[in-house]
Amino acid sequence: MSGHAPPRILLFDSGVGGLSVAACIHHHLPSLEVVYLADNAGFPYGDKSETVVIDRTCGLISSALRLYPSDVIVVACNTASTVVLPHLRTMTSVPVVGVVPAIKPAAAKTQNRRIGLLATPATVRRPYLDRLIEEFASDCRVERIGHPELVRWAEELVSGGVVPLGELHAATKPFRDADVDTVVLGCTHYPLLLESLKQSLPSVRFWVDSGEAIARRVAWLLDQAKQPVVAHSEALEEGQFPVSAILFSGQAPKGIVSFMIGLGVAPKVVTEYWPDELRSATAIESV
């Protein structure tokens, strides 16, 4: 990127979960232009092979970079981050930021040394998670829950879905039994479920996700590249949009614009069935 245009971030996820990261980045770095790329035609990634995740992620990001040259790529998907980052860094010179469960900050916050990790089944099984716990929380009891439905409940919120509190309460029972005081939201979809999770786990004192750490890393990378980042206190100019474009590989979820407005990241355009090699129709909606 050059000239006086603000730095642009390309933010990728398998669905709408990364919008929680987009909201956090916009809150801390409001001058940045954000392009959001969702492989919702491939959602969910948790039941896909590593080869499929790598191919889809790299292919879509490569296509997006041709249309939207960017200063930083954020892979806001825990499953993709565990397998894709080395391949992306070989493919492009653009700095790449991934997400990992926030075990380190959780260990710094917990007072009773009992942490709950809420993640996808795929993330819970990854060996890198064992290494994170051993390195940063070896003195803590870490109770893990890998539930297959939470990401779907988060996706359904976009089109007016309601979180089934009874099922959620049953799913989180191990955290109550273990008396955890801190919960790591180990999937970017899960901050979208936070209010429901708080109802289910009222005794939890600290909720930790990766959004702020990602925003800090993006700011650091832009600073290293001598890219201007406007201070938190300065707002967007009138008529600007927090998200300049959101690209879906499948059909855009019904209600996506209203949902993003509610998160404070209103999009300028929504494009579905993108890119060309996946396109059977295109819809662009100006807000």
The pLDDT of residue 228 is 65
One domain for residues 201 and 149: yes
Residue where one domain finishes, among candidates 158, 178, 209: 209
Owning domain of residue 186: 103-209
Strands 206-208 and 243-248: unpaired
Secondary structure class of 281 (helix, strand, coil): coil
Q: Is 187 a catalytic residue?
A: yes
Residue 286, in any domain of the structure: no
Residue-level pLDDT, tens digit, the chain, 287 residues: 444 678 999 999 999 999 999 999 999 999 899 999 999 999 988 778 899 999 999 999 999 999 999 999 999 998 899 889 999 999 999 999 999 899 999 999 999 999 999 998 888 888 889 999 999 999 999 999 999 899 999 999 998 999 999 999 999 999 999 999 999 999 999 999 999 999 999 999 999 999 999 999 999 999 998 876 765 545 556 557 889 999 999 999 999 999 999 999 999 989 988 776 544 434 444 33
Residue where one domain finishes, among candidates 160, 182, 209: 209
Torsion angle of the four alpha carbons 46, 48, 54, 56, in this order, in degrees rounded to the nearest 10: -100
DSSP 8-state symbol, 16 = S
One domain for residues 48 and 134: no
Residue 133, in any domain of the structure: yes
Neighbouring residues of 240: CB distance < 8 A, sequence distance ≥ 6: none
One domain for residues 82 and 223: yes
Secondary structure class of 30 (helix, strand, coil): coil
One domain for residues 107 and 204: yes
The pLDDT of residue 230 is 61
Residue 86, in any domain of the structure: yes
One domain for residues 93 and 217: yes
Neighbouring residues of 216: CB distance < 8 A, sequence distance ≥ 6: 28
The pLDDT of residue 283 is 43
Residue 43, in any domain of the structure: yes
Q: Which of 24, 58, 77, 140 is catalytic?
A: 77
Alpha-carbon distance 144 to 114, whole Å? 11
Q: How many domains does the chain have?
A: 2
CATH number at residue 82: 3.40.50.1860
